[in-house]
Amino acid sequence: EVQLVESGGGSVQAGGSLRLSCAVSGFAEGDGFDEYAIGWFRQAPGKEREGVSCIHDRHGVTFTADSVKGRFAVSSDSARTTVYLQMNNLKPEDTAVYYCAAEPYGSTCKGYLESWGRGVLVTVSS
């Protein structure tokens, strides 16, 4: 029912910026992600998936990975139908497939994740 679609991936040189978008739909009453947390995750080749950042409708930003603090910022529009990941000062180690996911019962995107997008590739060259 809950669907998420990522966009905004691409290739960029180290030090550059990208903004990813996660369009969310299928929530009860069409109210966006009310009572949900929406998280950004990434998986690099040969590595396990890691959480990047998380935002909750009531608690705001609840998690940001140490590896991206000061460089990445998660936000949402007022209708809570789109979640963004602004990525600045990108590094080659940020190269990964980036996913957004919806958490219905928690607030930090570290529990059960109900739905996932298909992901977008971000490639950062040195």
CB atoms within 10 A of CB 125: 11
Q: Helices marked H in 46-120 — which ranges?
A: none
The mean pLDDT of the chain is 93
What pLDDT score does 106 carry? 85
Tell me the C-alpha distance between 68 and 81, whole Å: 24
Convert the pLDDT of each residue in 22-54 to its tens digit.
Answer: 999 887 765 566 678 999 999 999 999 999 999
